[in-house]
Structure 1
Amino acid sequence: MPVSRPSDSVEARFQAAIAASSRSDQPVGLAVSGGGDSIALMQLAARFRPADTLRAISIDHGLRPEAKDEIALVAAQAMTLGIDHTIVNWTWDGKGNLQAAAREGRWAAVRDWAVMHDLSTVWFGHTEDDQVETLLMRLARGSGIDGLTAMYPLTRRDGLQVFRPLLGLSRADLRDWLTQQKIIWAEDPSNEDTRFDRVRARQMFGHLETLGMTRKRLLQTVDHMQAAHLSLQEAALGFAKRYVRQDAGDLILAPEALELERADAPRRVMAAAFSWVGSRSYRPRFEQLLETVGQARKGATITLGGCIMTPDEGGAVRLMREAAATTAAVRLHHDAGQPLGVFWDQRWFLEGPVHDNLTFKALGEGIKDCADWRDVGIPRTSLMASPSVWQGARLIAAPVAGLSQGWSARIVADFHSSAFAIED
């Protein structure tokens, strides 16, 4: 993991970082909040990429009145740079931890926007400081190798390539550069709010340096953890290719993949399988996996984490999405300028004749209106969890179950290419 060297120019280091990430003519998305890091990301990207290959998105959480001014700043700068800019509103439902919910809501909005605009890569403005703070917070939580990898410069999530070109630059370097370039940015007051773990980790870092836990040493630790983690993930990917088969939105796991007591690879694969099928960022606890797999091997059908595990032929098991665990997406009004598609349940993208007042949800009992569902060759329970299009109580389409009506449905990120966050 590189450590900032003041003698290097910000622009030269940024250019070096992006040189190997993607082709210069490949369109990329930029996540821009209005803070110094993300503003620097957008401004630097515009210096080294054609404006027509860049799209920016800002998420308004509606939590601070200043956010609208910050997003307006992004919009004004994006317009000056000739970059297309989208604003998405996100509202907290009041459930769970606010920061965690905001992170997930941010990612979901960015992912949906990227998929609908055919963007395969999104750039984020995380810096060297964010890397150090992430490591400290995970050390405090007692994380293992997976947690102590902190953030990779380049990885995959939900089928998207996630790139962090500023990860080798410090926050101070970026602000010095913005000041020299006379570029304005916004300061988020929550960055000084000690109620948040990241702020406390930032403030603690100065004390830790006196014990020898310098920035360089901490980043070396991240580098070591990433090397170890990558080896484990590559082993798990190879194991999954041998013993896991994808069938539309289901996974069929061979008997070898059920031997969780044996080694790290089957454990990683099983945890990744539940996360992928269940459309969840967090994996089930190991004890839950052991209990669920054990019951399935004895012939039981059991649910866990929004998934249904049931015995299959030859001692294998089939892992299916639980229809009741999905959430409907409603589009009341369709803008003619929007893409003709909807991202549903974090894995599926439906394309077709979108119009007002449509609902996208699991097929459920609507399967009775799909005359040809048996010809598809997919179990009934699986098809009941597949995406469908409704207008009120009337089923419009269920493309996976053989009722297309001009609609198609595809998995945005298949299991083997996305579950282990490894770049091929």
Structure 2
Amino acid sequence: MPVDCDARLSAALRQVVQAGEARIGVAVSGGSDSLALLHLCHGLGLACHAVTVDHALRAGSAAEAAQVAAICAGLGVPHQILRWDHGAIVGNLQDQARRARYALLADWARGLGLARVMIGHTADDQAETFLMGLTRAAGLDGLSGMRPSWVEAGVVFQRPLLGQTRADLRAYLTRAGVVWIDDPSNDNDRFARVRARQVLAVLQPLGLGVAQMSESIAHLASAQQALQAVTLAAWEACGQVVAGAVQLRLSGFAAQPVEIQRRLLLAVLGWYSGGDYAPRAQKMATLAEAIRQGADATLNGCCFRTTSDGLQIYREPHAVKSLCVATSDIWDNRWQMIGPHAPDLSLRALGAEGLAQLPNWRGLAIPRQALLVCPAIWRKDALIAAPSAGFLNGWQAKLVRSVNQSILSH
């Protein structure tokens, strides 16, 4: 019955909404999935703030964003349009658009003081992602489905409708008399996701559809969670973060099964870079061999150095050399500064020039390599503060996400 379906959709959303939560963000493209999410949130009486990202990649995108704004106005939901100002795009268009989209969404949410943003992905998206993983010969993590939630730049992103089908959401909107926007790029088979969607339509009559794939994904996700739990226990037993650098006790690390070692290294790399894609298997194998041989190595903007009693992992200096942001911004995907922000201050790496202004840094018992790449507050060439290096001057440095979160989100 339709009423039962509507109740199930609302119940799915309630499961991820914290009791007493005041305000949430909802990303709305105008498509059926995100519009259904918006209407469900509004129907539950949640204080929603809606946002639309105009990627400015095709004619009509601005008009569609304006159409979403009108829908939100009709519901009494505050809405904002974010435009991706880009130049010529080289490489994977959809990947770059996705990265830009989530960066814009995170900035928007932090600006409004929103702790979480809802995204309208569905079971159909899960099945498409599964098929795309098969084409890449993906392993367990690549076939375990999209993450139901993750933290990016200090904001929690959630996908509360992953267990619901696009057909159910469209039926819900039809009953409510809501018209959605069909993005023409959804029919462009130059994109891998569109091709996966086309394959899914062919497989459905053969008994291999969204429902069956969802069951398989759930089984794989259960196995993934078990491995994540073991990896987390291994991290807590042999790992720590000091001044933003990772230290792994070598004996504890070496005692772990090879797969857990691999997952620990992947989690650390993901924590440093904030990247969504793991290094290729061959690169990870090369790194693992270097560690076994006690040799130094670099990968994904990180330096690996084996000592007599541990494995030290630092940010590679060139990876942060050009990073310079306002002190109120997130730096290097991990650092947030708390202190007397001012327009003439900037946030960048401490570097050798900053370390030279801290004559007592050796007394901190923190490796020089870690201090060089820690965040510092600057006024032009004058060092104002470097909290991780013991120079507070009214400032604090806070890591917006932990290695634990990285382990559980991959």
Give TM-score scaled by structure 2 length. 0.88
Residue in structure 2 matched with residue 415 of structure 1 by the alignment? 403
What aligned pairs does 1:308-323 form with structure 2 within 5 A after superposition? 308-312=303-307, 314=309, 316-323=310-317
1:224-282 deviation line (CA, Å, top 9, x unaligned): 11111111111111111112112131111122454399432111111211221233322
Q: Residue 262 of structure 2 is aligned with which of 258, 263, 267?
A: 267
Residue in structure 2 matched with residue 44 of structure 1 by the alignment? 40
Amino acid at match of 1:208: L
Residue in structure 1 matched with residue 335 of structure 2 by the alignment? 348
Amino acid at match of 1:284: P
What aligned pairs does 1:23-422 form with structure 2 within 5 A after superposition? 23-26=18-21, 27-51=23-47, 54-92=48-86, 94-115=89-110, 117-154=112-149, 160-256=155-251, 258-259=253-254, 262-296=257-291, 298-312=293-307, 314=309, 316-326=310-320, 327-331=322-326, 341-356=328-343, 358-365=345-352, 366-421=354-409
- Over the matched positions of the two proteins, sequence identity in percent amounts to 36
Deviation, structure 1 residue 148: 1.0
Label 1:10 to 1:343 Cα distance change in 2 as closer, same or farther (>3 A).
farther
Amino acid at match of 2:51: I
Distance (Å, rounded) in 2 between the aligned partners of 1:188 and 1:330:
35
Amino acid at match of 2:81: I
Deviation, structure 1 residue 91: 3.6
CA RMSD of aligned residues (A): 2.7
Deviation, structure 1 residue 154: 4.4
Distance (Å, rounded) in 2 between the aligned partners of 1:178 and 1:269:
43
Distance (Å, rounded) in 1 between the aligned partners of 2:289 and 2:303:
14
Mind listing any 5+ residue stretches in structure 2 that lack a counterpart?
none
1:62-84 deviation line (CA, Å, top 9, x unaligned): 21232222222333333444444
Distance (Å, rounded) in 2 between the aligned partners of 1:200 and 1:291:
33
Amino acid at match of 2:222: A
Which range is displaced more, 258-267 or 404-413? 258-267
Label 1:279 to 1:23 Cα distance change in 2 as closer, same or farther (>3 A).
closer
Aligned length: 406
1:345-378 deviation line (CA, Å, top 9, x unaligned): 1111123333435433222132223355445442
Which range is displaced more, 382-391 or 177-186? 177-186
Amino acid at match of 2:201: G
Which range is displaced more, 406-415 or 358-367? 358-367
Secondary structure at 2:330 match in 1? strand
Secondary structure at 1:344 match in 2? coil
Amino acid at match of 1:322: E
Distance (Å, rounded) in 2 between the aligned partners of 1:96 and 1:69:
27
Distance (Å, rounded) in 2 between the aligned partners of 1:172 and 1:64:
27
Label 1:67 to 1:394 Cα distance change in 2 as closer, same or farther (>3 A).
farther
Label 1:35 to 1:352 Cα distance change in 2 as closer, same or farther (>3 A).
farther
Distance (Å, rounded) in 2 between the aligned partners of 1:260 and 1:67:
54
Deviation, structure 1 residue 99: 0.9
Mind listing any 5+ residue stretches in structure 1 that lack a counterpart?
1-5, 332-339
Label 1:313 to 1:121 Cα distance change in 2 as closer, same or farther (>3 A).
farther
Distance (Å, rounded) in 1 between the aligned partners of 2:308 and 2:317:
23
Deviation, structure 1 residue 410: 0.6
Contact 2:54 2:81 in 1 (8 A): yes
Label 1:300 to 1:202 Cα distance change in 2 as closer, same or farther (>3 A).
closer
Contact 1:25 1:50 in 2 (8 A): no
Distance (Å, rounded) in 1 between the aligned partners of 2:56 and 2:86:
9
Secondary structure at 1:345 match in 2? coil
Contact 1:257 1:270 in 2 (8 A): no
Amino acid at match of 1:354: H
Secondary structure at 1:126 match in 2? coil
Label 1:113 to 1:397 Cα distance change in 2 as closer, same or farther (>3 A).
farther
Deviation, structure 1 residue 411: 0.4
Distance (Å, rounded) in 1 between the aligned partners of 2:366 and 2:304:
15
Amino acid at match of 1:243: C
Amino acid at match of 1:412: V
Residue in structure 2 matched with residue 334 of structure 1 by the alignment? none
Distance (Å, rounded) in 1 between the aligned partners of 2:347 and 2:229:
36
Which range is displaced more, 388-397 or 196-205? 388-397
Which range is displaced more, 34-43 or 181-190? 181-190
1:182-231 deviation line (CA, Å, top 9, x unaligned): 33432211011111111112122222124331332222111111111111
Amino acid at match of 2:286: E
Distance (Å, rounded) in 2 between the aligned partners of 1:418 and 1:112:
20
Distance (Å, rounded) in 2 between the aligned partners of 1:171 and 1:123:
16
Distance (Å, rounded) in 1 between the aligned partners of 2:60 and 2:392:
46
Secondary structure at 1:57 match in 2? strand
Distance (Å, rounded) in 2 between the aligned partners of 1:341 and 1:168:
37
Label 1:137 to 1:288 Cα distance change in 2 as closer, same or farther (>3 A).
closer
Secondary structure at 1:369 match in 2? coil
Which range is displaced more, 142-151 or 16-25? 16-25
Amino acid at match of 2:317: A
Secondary structure at 1:342 match in 2? coil
Label 1:49 to 1:404 Cα distance change in 2 as closer, same or farther (>3 A).
farther
